[in-house]
Structure 1
Amino acid sequence: MLKMKLEALEHPSPDSVDAQNRNVFASTVLWLEDQKIRQYKIEDRVNLRKVDNLPEWEKAYQHYKIDVGIPKFDSPLEELSWLLSYAVRLEFLDAPENYQDINSKNILERDSKSVAPSIKAENLFDNIDFQHKDFISGVRAMAKKLQIAHHPNHLIQLEAIVRIVHERLAPEVRKRAAITGTPFPFSQGNDKVADDPALDYAVRILRLLQIQSLRQLQTLINETIVCVQDLTANPKTDTKLGKVGF
């Protein structure tokens, strides 16, 4: 609560003010009187301005406490906190409509946002409106060029485009040798998997997909073997240690 009051006054918190230093304390009280409280007229604040003459300022401050109505406290910090609360109250009463939308929930949300690190997105796709008509028409045109069936949801069509590009058009895929031969016939014959023709056809498709997955796995294994071979075929040599290898 005290933090909210201090932020409203645009003044450092009492914890950051050395209340035991009477010069600092006197300057803070003078600032509050000049900027927020205004108990006295400007010409009547002469003695409060004598912050470099503490005996005179102390006399003026004792009268000021009575005029403002500061209760009896045990420490200067408590007196300063009361003055801050009083200044906030006066500030609010001057224009209460300015603070109608301020509540504890808004303050907590604002503080959490200020503490959270600000990360500037550098990904181009973060700024794309995927529902924009130009984006949708672009997806439709690409799907038509790749002969992908129409779907009411253009994002699903986009997923199909990504899969086609990954499986058929990627440079590493185009270097692979084409699959030749027929793993098993699709025609209905004596090698049927299921009695139901529709089920038999679906099972055959699943088999093809499994073969494709196995081929992808084998490709990854081959690439791993090549990397290991390249690493072991060119060991680092440290003649100081009198050994070859890592």
Structure 2
Amino acid sequence: MIKLKLEALEHPAPSNVDINDRKVFASTILWLEDQKIRQYKIEDREDLRKVDQLDIWEQAYDNYKTDLCMPEFRTPLEEFTWLLGYAIRLEFLDAPDNYKVINSIEITKQQKKSAAPSIKAENFFDNLDFNSKEFIAGVRSLANKLKVPQHPNHLVQLEAIARVVHERLSPSAKNRQAVTGKPFPFEKGDDVVTDDTALDYPVRILRLLQIQSLRELQTKINETIVAVQELTANPRTDTKLGKVGR
């Protein structure tokens, strides 16, 4: 995914970026600032250019993250992923028309939509700006409290938060036992899902998600069966309606 994002940003050597090499990491951050992000003026990027003096560069990088309002991440990979997503977003905002493909069918749909009567809802969320800095900061803060991994797209992260709340904090999860033990190393299985190595990993994930979905369905079926059995095993009768004899 990092390689694809670097290619989208037209990086000169996306396959050679090793973020585990701190010097390469620093050089790539400098490239993103020079070519895409441009948070600083050219003369203010002097310390970021000192990739051969990592002690100076590290301090400049810490200041750079603060100026970008970057959320707190645990690993350089998460920081780098966030920066790539931020750079891509800026690229889109600079020239949104280059990324829009509108055909005649879509135009017709928009015209029909505009002709339809508008309904004003009084829902609080209708007036909420989901891309405001305050909303994004709230999502990041809530994710940190719930220990949800960071994601460049705050809306995707919000979906993960909603799932954690539903699975662990909702009333239905009150008596549910917490999942313990070591994570299953599905990526190291001997069974080959597909011959394409690039597709093998995501296919394994999709297969586990399908198994989880089937288990949830089976759980709901079992709960329904138990509820029906309790109802039929203890029926309520009205003795006033009974008759003895003719």
TM-score, normalized by length of structure 1?
0.40
- Structure number, greater radius of gyration: 1
